[in-house]
Structure 1
């Protein structure tokens, strides 16, 4: 009875509070006309649609078959495509996605486009453009997963990405949003201390991933996830934030500590209803700011569920999020 009551409450408390209904991992959302579309980790990247961010219908997936380049680029490909990002720009929807061997930095970030997200529209067709970035064990001290696109004040596109290893990266993109700009500009925007005795081919400690940059109040806010996901009741994921006047950083937390030195101010963490909360994206829909993420439900065998909750801003212009 308690579990049923909790699920019912979660279904009705969306208005500025919290809403959880569907089982998702690494959710991102965009809006087309009167519908919202959610993309998340899964075989071929799972798609959901909703008229109100409350009632969701599974629409299938972006890729019915794994792109041929994936199997030739990634040894021990895990099968699932991870951690998408979705944006609309210059008449196209761009969907970025990760492919990887689990627990290794044998990883790539790719991109696919479509003119519309409405599967009933004749223009609906995903076109894959292949890989943008690749990380290789023993060569790179970063991991090419968890992409997210942001634009600076000049309209220049940037991609943030990364997980564990030597932290989270930012790289300048070309205007086509499919290739890295030349000459290449790379920045480390956040990292945590990593044990020196860990082999560079291992994820190790220094648990940080899933960067997402959101422009607001004259700042670029860098949201990241600390600690560990994907461990059921043992998960410790939580969302942290820092900010900067420049998209390249440096990003600092409320205490002025740099995120490159392990800093970060807490945004959201687990409580009696959630073992852990993380891998967020941040949006403004119809004049309201929202944080979108997944949590591990303590009332339902630690299943990963969608969370959407409103962001408020304190007098110092730091995000305030409550469940």
Structure 2
């Protein structure tokens, strides 16, 4: 996880503007626009008396820019699904890194479960709902292959669906079954698309797929070192090359976003769209608020085929 910085592109420090407003304590955010409102999903927080199971937590704003008015909607569930406890051998203190998508008119919320004391065992699961605010029905295991934390689901050619995940074991991708939202049973290809990144998320623009990921370390407040890198490919399954032509499987990745106090570290990102506009949501650690995890959002534009991060929304 602790890797040297890659070649710099249009590098943006996280501390370059004011913050969003409202309840913005989101870690590993995933954002979706539904109707006139935005909904954000966050990793659950340990030892939260209002969320004792450490469930994924949902937030909402109806501000047209998603910059103000964030409020907490609630927790996805009140107790951790029993299959997770059984597979991990104990109850995890929290559920990680959600990814929200619409598949066949239904909301699919992907998530990861693991234990800090064991970085070799993890499970990816999914819950579904017909309304963005639930109730959510857990659908069980998606995969337990290659430490599948930080799931991200994206559309590929011909309306295909792919899920990527990644951390210490590398970043992998697998085709999903459009009918079930789980791994395809007819195409078992497993593509490695990067090494040394977490929180993969993919954005499509102008004939390229752009793979964003986090390098450095998370989850240590102001001692965190997260920063965000990118590579691109003409195929959703890769290879993803950075601006210097280095494959992300070989450690490549062009740095596009870093942290600077008081917005320390910048990672755990998620790409989403508002109409034709593209955005990158991520968290930083607020040095002015005891290192608390905090949501930030930037519009993404493109110059000469590479992403450019705008100023944070405010």
**Which of the five TM-score ranges fits, normalised by the shorter chain?**
0.7 to 0.9
How far, CA to CA, are the matches of 1:113 and 1:31 in structure 2?
A: 17
**Structure with the higher fraction of residues in strand conformation:** 2
Q: Give TM-score scaled by structure 2 length.
A: 0.85
- CA contact under 8 A between 1:77 and 1:100: conserved in structure 2? no
Q: How does 1:180-191 map to 2 (within 5 A)?
A: 180-181=183-184, 182-191=186-195
Give the corresponding residue for 2:254: 265
Give the corresponding residue for 1:40: 42
Give how far 1:241 is off: 0.2
Change in CA separation of 1:236 and 1:229 when aligned onto 2, cut-off 3 Å: same
Q: How does 1:46-125 map to 2 (within 5 A)?
A: 46-52=57-63, 53=66, 54-102=68-116, 103-118=118-133, 124-125=134-135
How many positions carry a matched residue from both structures? 282
How far, CA to CA, are the matches of 1:307 and 1:20 in structure 2?
A: 12
Give the corresponding residue for 1:216: 205
* Residue 238 (1) aligns with residue 238 (2): no
Q: CA RMSD of the aligned region, Å?
A: 1.8
- CA contact under 8 A between 2:43 and 2:94: conserved in structure 1? yes
Match of residue 24, structure 2, among 22, 25, 29: 22
Give how far 1:60 is off: 0.8
How far, CA to CA, are the matches of 2:182 and 2:217 in structure 1?
A: 31
Give how far 1:127 is off: 1.4
Change in CA separation of 1:272 and 1:322 when aligned onto 2, cut-off 3 Å: farther
* Residue 10 (1) aligns with residue 19 (2): yes
For structure 2, which runs of at least 5 residues remain unmatched after alignment? 1-14, 45-53
Change in CA separation of 1:76 and 1:67 when aligned onto 2, cut-off 3 Å: closer
Give how far 1:9 is off: 4.0
Give the corresponding residue for 1:309: 298
How far, CA to CA, are the matches of 2:26 and 2:129 in structure 1?
A: 22
Relative contact order (C-alpha < 8 Å, sep 6+): which is higher?
2
- CA contact under 8 A between 1:84 and 1:95: conserved in structure 2? yes
- CA contact under 8 A between 2:200 and 2:211: conserved in structure 1? yes
Give the corresponding residue for 1:202: none
* Residue 254 (1) aligns with residue 254 (2): no
Match of residue 144, structure 2, among 134, 141, 151: 134
- CA contact under 8 A between 2:22 and 2:70: conserved in structure 1? no
Whose Rg is larger? Answer: 1
How far, CA to CA, are the matches of 1:10 and 1:59 in structure 2?
A: 20
In structure 2, the residue corresponding to 1:72 is in which secondary structure? helix
In structure 2, the residue corresponding to 1:214 is in which secondary structure? strand
- CA contact under 8 A between 1:290 and 1:308: conserved in structure 2? yes
Change in CA separation of 1:46 and 1:154 when aligned onto 2, cut-off 3 Å: same
Give how far 1:74 is off: 0.9
Q: Give TM-score scaled by structure 1 length.
A: 0.83
List structure 1 segments (4+ residues) > 6 angstroms apart after TM superposition. none
Give how far 1:154 is off: 1.5
How far, CA to CA, are the matches of 1:311 and 1:21 in structure 2?
A: 23
Match of residue 147, structure 1, among 144, 151, 155: 151
- CA contact under 8 A between 2:80 and 2:91: conserved in structure 1? no
* Residue 318 (1) aligns with residue 272 (2): no
